[in-house]
Structure 1
Amino acid sequence: MIAQSRWTPYWQAAPMTLVFAVFFIVPLIATFVVSFWEYNQYSIQPAMTGENYTEIFDGCIAGLPELCTIFKTYLSTLKFAAIVWALTLVIGFTIAYFLVFHIRTLTMQIILALVCTIPFLTSNVIRMISWIPLLGRNGLVNQALLGLGITDQPLDWLLYSNFSVVLAFVHLNTVFMIIPLLNSMFRIDKSLIEAAYDTGASGWQTLVNVVIPLSKTGIAIGSIFVITIVMGDYITIGVMGGQQIASVGKIIQVQTNFLQFPLAAANAVLLLVTVLSMILLLTRIVDIRKEL
């Protein structure tokens, strides 16, 4: 009976472990292996060569002090990730704080939380494309600006620009910041907030010294979700950027379309290493397992 009770948790975890291995670990290993294969316009040959990684960084040394294409692309992708992360954090934190500390009844908290999250259950593509008739040259926003006399001509930077890409990213991914923050803030003992006010702390001091430190787990989890999604997203950048803005995910997609699978796999490995490094940094700052 002792041996049986000892192995029971492992048997219970076995089905999920098998699913995780088949649909996550095995594809990762296959991608890593393919990244070392050789390829040409007609075929792919299994081999162990580092030419794909060399090709990715081709011209980086010779082009100094100018950045090579891959570094420029990573900087562009990281820029989008940083901007979207900051905006989703501010918006998500504000919404979560309002729901938890300013809405008194649990029923109303649940209703408003559903109002915030249910729209995100619709297709990302539908929500993304819905911005095009609003931001286009003849869209509703430009028509309103012209009608009010704010501008003399339509604004071209509203669509197919960095602005439209960031706007779409924030629209699509804010929910991934709201939910972890709600979970963390609901765990905060309200008596701590009252104690802070009783000792003379202002609202800002209470926020900085009590609420934010106790919400750091939600901030870390939401940041992991947002950064991971933005770093690999190529559909949003392609549609909202008018196929004119480069990103790492877009490079991988183009290489896949041209059947350059080993080169695309090498880029995917580099992207994975970059994202995992960022996640590792976040988990170093906040011990998520300890805080949960």
Structure 2
Amino acid sequence: MKPASRPMLARWRLHGLPAGLQASPYALVFLLFFVLPLVLIVAVSFWDSTEYEMIPAFTGKNYAEIFAGCSNAQDMCVTFRTYLSTFRFSALAWLSTLLIGFTVAYFMAFHVRTARMQTVLFVLCIIPFWTSNVIRMISWVPLLGRNGLINDFLLGLGITDQPLDWLLFSPFSVVLAFVHLFTVFMIVPIFNAMMRIDRSLIEAARDAGASGWQILWHVIVPLSRTGIIIGSIFVITLVMGDFVTIGVMGGQQIASVGKIIQVQTSYLQFPLAAANAVILLLVVLMIIWGLTRLVDIRKEL
């Protein structure tokens, strides 16, 4: 060992490794499994292709093909209609999971007194994750189908004289599946934010004469906004890129951006699928940027 390196080793033993060396393994993993795949997707999105091969030549025809016909103001193009459908599913799933997730989190944070019972309720929330998402979606078929339990129940009571077709393989069933799958991603961050609320603030508001609704709206909701934003980011990003749920619960009849990318990949149209993926990534990043403008998540955490 060189004499010049001995003081450095002694300093490392005394003070530890420099921060740059400590972070280098994590930075390497980040570069290999996050940055590099994104760079490859962006690069492939500018490649040319035929029915049989991809040609690594710079071209913008993939993006031009995606937005073909979108300049016509009177007739909305396929891309805009697809994004509008995806935004609609995201908005409905977000609103439904927010209402359910906030209610469940509020109950566990302010009405369940013991940590043991809170743990039990948390386990009940995550039990569905012990099985496949596809199995959980398929479990709705016996309930929502034309000969399912719900239609049999409605027919038996005389509420309807024929089975309801819109219960399954429809936008309703897609949103229902999203709520079933992703509500827990809203519950956890909101519950974590509520548990950090100083209970003396609620007592002070109650002593000042505030009603229960006033305490909820003016104290609990503002102090839970970090959890609401984090949960919203989880749900919106998951729904925007989803194609399995829409394919299964929509009966392969409902379009979404994720579904289009999956179909293009299955037909080996990788450059076109990569271009769609880049556009979807930019749209999702803009949504996340807009949500993070509402609250400084790093400061709040």
Structure-2-length-normalised TM-score: 0.94
Q: Give the equivalent residue in structure 2 for 1:127.
A: 136
- 1:193-247 CA-to-partner distances (Å, cap 9, x unmatched) read 1111011011111111110111111011101100000000001001100111000
Say if 2:109 is the partner of 1:81.
no
**In structure 1, what is the Cα distance between the partners aligned to 2:159 and 2:104?**
31
**In structure 1, what is the Cα distance between the partners aligned to 2:120 and 2:198?**
22
Distance 1:152 1:259, change over 3 A: same
Say if 2:208 is the partner of 1:199.
yes
Whichever residue aligns with residue 242 of structure 1, its letter is G
How far residue 133 of structure 1 moved from its aligned partner, in angstroms, is 1.2
Map of 1:259-270 to 2, 5 A cutoff?
259-270=268-279
**In structure 2, what is the Cα distance between the partners aligned to 1:3 and 1:212?**
50
- 1:79-115 CA-to-partner distances (Å, cap 9, x unmatched) read 1001100110010000000001011122111111221
Whichever residue aligns with residue 32 of structure 1, its letter is V
- After TM superposition, the structure 1 stretch with the greater mean CA deviation from structure 2, 246-255 or 144-153, is 144-153
Q: Give the equivalent residue in structure 2 for 1:19.
A: 29
Map of 1:1-292 to 2, 5 A cutoff?
4=12, 5=15, 7-61=17-71, 63-292=72-301
**In structure 2, what is the Cα distance between the partners aligned to 1:210 and 1:67?**
44
**In structure 2, what is the Cα distance between the partners aligned to 1:118 and 1:9?**
40
How far residue 120 of structure 1 moved from its aligned partner, in angstroms, is 2.7
**In structure 2, what is the Cα distance between the partners aligned to 1:6 and 1:79?**
52
Aligned length: 291
**In structure 2, what is the Cα distance between the partners aligned to 1:174 and 1:30?**
33
Whichever residue aligns with residue 154 of structure 2, its letter is L
**In structure 1, what is the Cα distance between the partners aligned to 2:282 and 2:85?**
17
**In structure 1, what is the Cα distance between the partners aligned to 2:140 and 2:153?**
15
- 1:23-69 CA-to-partner distances (Å, cap 9, x unmatched) read 111110000000000001111100111110000000111x3221100
**In structure 2, what is the Cα distance between the partners aligned to 1:196 and 1:3?**
54
Whichever residue aligns with residue 73 of structure 2, its letter is L
**In structure 1, what is the Cα distance between the partners aligned to 2:270 and 2:236?**
25
Identity of aligned pairs, percent? 66
CA RMSD of aligned residues (A): 1.4
The DSSP-based 3-state class of the residue aligned with 2:234 is helix
Q: Give the equivalent residue in structure 1 for 2:5.
A: none
**In structure 1, what is the Cα distance between the partners aligned to 2:173 and 2:282?**
28
The DSSP-based 3-state class of the residue aligned with 2:18 is helix
Structure 1 stretches of 5 or more lacking a match? none
- 1:10-31 CA-to-partner distances (Å, cap 9, x unmatched) read 3333222222221111110000
